[in-house]
Chains A and B, each alone.
Chain A
Amino acid sequence: MTKILMQFPDKYEIYQSYSGQGFGYLKTNIKGFNQASIINPHFMLTDLDRYECPMALRNDWIDFELQDNFIFRIAVREVESWVLADRESLSRYFNVALANFPIKPDLESDPKNTLIQLARRSKKREIREDIVPINTNAKIGPNYNGCLSEYVFKFWSIENAILNSESLERTYLKLKNFTSHKRRQRGL
Chain B
Amino acid sequence: MRSRTFMVGPNASGKSNLLDVFRFLRDIAKPGGGLQHAVLDRGGISKIRCLAARTHPDVEVEVHLSDFDTEDVSWKYALGIKQEVRGYRLPFLSYERVWKNDKLILNRPDKDDKKDKERLTQTHLEQINANKEFREITRFLESTVYLHLLPQLLKHPLSFTGPDLPGDPFGKGFLDRISKVNEKTRSAWLKKIELALKIAVPQFKKFEFKEENGRPHLEAMYDHWRPKAGKQKEDQFSDGTIRLIGLLWSLQDGDSLLLLEEPELSLNSAIISKIPALIYKLQKPKRRQVLISTHSMDLLSDKGISLDEILVLNPSAEGTEVYASSSIPSIKEMLDGGMSPAQAILPRTKPKDINQLTFF
Same complex:
yes
Chain A residues in the interface with B (C-beta under 8 A): 2, 16-19, 25, 28-29, 31-40, 143, 145-147, 149-150, 153
Contacts of B338 in A (CB 8 A): 28-29, 31-32
* Given A18-B347, A19-B347, A29-B337, CB of A39 within 8 Å of CB of B330: yes
Complex: A40 Cα to B333 Cα, angstroms: 11
Tell me if B343 counts as interface (CB < 8 A to partner A): yes
* Given A29-B339, A145-B358, A146-B358, CB of A36 within 8 Å of CB of B333: yes
Contacts of A36 in B (CB 8 A): 330-331, 333-334, 337
Complex: A145 Cα to B339 Cα, angstroms: 26
A188 to chain B, nearest CB (A): 10
Tell me if B49 counts as interface (CB < 8 A to partner A): no
Tell me if B348 counts as interface (CB < 8 A to partner A): yes
Contacts of A2 in B (CB 8 A): 355
Other A-B pairs beyond A18-B347, A35-B334, 9, CB < 8 Å: A19-B350, A19-B355, A32-B334, A38-B333, A39-B330, A145-B355, A147-B358, A150-B356, A150-B358
Which chain B residue lies CB-closest to A143? B358
Contacts of B335 in A (CB 8 A): 32
Contact A34 B330 (CB under 8 A): no
Complex: A90 Cα to B141 Cα, angstroms: 62
Contact B347 A29 (CB under 8 A): no
Number of contacts between A and B (CB, 8 Å)? 63
Chain B residues in the interface with A (C-beta under 8 A): 329-331, 333-339, 343-344, 347-348, 350, 355-359
Which chain A residue lies CB-closest to B297? A21
Complex: A181 Cα to B283 Cα, angstroms: 46
Contact B333 A39 (CB under 8 A): yes
Contacts of A145 in B (CB 8 A): 355, 358
Which chain A residue lies CB-closest to B354? A19
Contacts of A32 in B (CB 8 A): 333-339, 343-344
Contacts of A25 in B (CB 8 A): 343
Contact A35 B347 (CB under 8 A): no
Question: Which single member of A16, A29, A149 contacts B343 (CB below 8 Å)?
Answer: A29
Which chain A residue lies CB-closest to B336? A35
Contacts of A39 in B (CB 8 A): 329-330, 333
Contact A33 B337 (CB under 8 A): yes
Subset of 28 A-B contacts with CB under 8 Å: A16-B330, A19-B347, A29-B338, A29-B339, A29-B343, A31-B338, A31-B339, A32-B335, A32-B336, A32-B337, A32-B338, A32-B344, A34-B337, A35-B333, A35-B336, A36-B331, A37-B333, A39-B333, A143-B358, A146-B357, A146-B358, A146-B359, A149-B355, A149-B356, A149-B358, A150-B356, A150-B358, A153-B356
